[in-house]
Amino acid sequence: MEDKAASEALVPLFKLDRLLNQDQGGRRVALLGSIDDKPALLTAERAAFPSDIKTLEAFHKCLADVKNLGTNDIYHWYLASAGHGENSPPDLKLNLISPCTEKHIKKYSAQGVRMVTESPQIYKDHVRPYIAEQREEGRLDWVFNILEGRKEQEDIIFRDPGQNGAKDEAFLLAPDLNWDRKTTTSLHLLAIVERRDLWSLRDLRKCHIVWLKHMREKVIEATVEKYPEIEKDQLKLYMHYQPTFYHLHIHVVHVMLEPTSTQAIGKAFGLENIISQLESMSGGSDAGMADVSLTYTLGESHDLWAEVFQPLKEGTLGRHG
C-alpha cells in the first residue's frame, strides 16, 4: 500500500516539457517532462488528443482519480479519469517512466523507419556486442524484479517450472504493462523465460524446438483458463526483433487487438513460424536463428541504425567497438 500511494503521488508532480509523439490515430501520446528535476516520460491513451502544448498542459491538470495498477523499478502504470465530473469512470490508461533515459525519449519520439537485413556476420560482429552492452547497463532490473519475486507477484498468471522440473525451461506469464487488465479484446500478456542466457530470438536453436512447443501449449492453456471468454484460436503469439528489452520473452495478444507497428511484418515474428523455421533447418541441434539473415524494421533514432546499418549503407561501417 505504501508503494502504491507513493507511485500515485508521482503523476501530479509531472511537469510537461514537450510532446514526443502521437500515434494510434491520435489516441495515444508520449509526453516528456520531469519530476523533481529528473526526466520523466508519461504516455496516455484516450479517444483523441490535440497536438498543441497549451491544450496538453490543460489535459494533464484535469487528470483525476489516478489509481495505480502497478509499479516496477522506473515503470508505473495507472487508470485515470479525464476529470469530466465527480466519480467519472476511468477513461485513460497511463504509463509513466520516471526517471526516463535518452533511449526512452528516442523510442517514443516520432521518427522515420528503415527496412534492414541483418546477416549472420553482421549479427556476430556488430549486433550481438551491442546487445551485450545494453544488458550490462541495468535495463533489465524490472525483469529480474519479477523473476526473483520482488515485484508484480500478485499479477503473475502462471508459472511453469519446466518440463520434468528442468530449471532452464522455467518461465512465467504476466500482463504486459500496456494492457488495462480488463478489456479482453486488447489482451496483452508476456511469457518471460527465467534463464538469462537467451537474449532474443537469435539465441534459439534446434535443440529448443520441443521446449518452444511446450511453452506455446502451456501459455495458451493458462490464458484461456484465466480468461474463459477467450478461445485458443483467438490468441496470437510472437517475438519482437529488435525487442524492447534483451531477455527472451513471448508476446501473447488477442487477435482483435488493434494492429500497430509492433505487430507489423518486420517487427513481429510469429512463434509458430520461428518453430517451423527451426524444424526445417539443416544441421545439428546447435543450428539456429543466429545462422540466418533476418529482415526487419528499425527506427532512425535506434542506435543500431546510426551505428551499424546507416554506415553499412554508406560504406563506412567498421567493426563494432
The span from the CA of 143 to the CA of 286, in Å, is 27
Are 308 and 122 within 8 A, CB to CB?
yes
CA-derived radius of gyration, the chain: 20
The span from the CA of 316 to the CA of 197, in Å, is 32
Q: What is the DSSP track for 228-241?
A: TTS-GGGEEEEEES
Which of 249, 251, 254, 302 is catalytic? The answer is: 249
Element (H, E) at 210: helix 209-226
The span from the CA of 133 to the CA of 83, in Å, is 43
Question: At a CB cut-off of 8 Å and minimum separation 6, what does 112 contact?
Answer: 299, 300
**Known active-site residue 249:** yes
Partners of 72 in the β-ladder: 75
The span from the CA of 262 to the CA of 242, in Å, is 10
Give CA separation, 168 vs 29, 124, 132, 190, 193, in Å: 39, 24, 20, 18, 8
- List the end-to-end C-alpha distance of the chain, in Å, as a whole number: 45
**Residues annotated as catalytic (active site), given as ranges:** 249
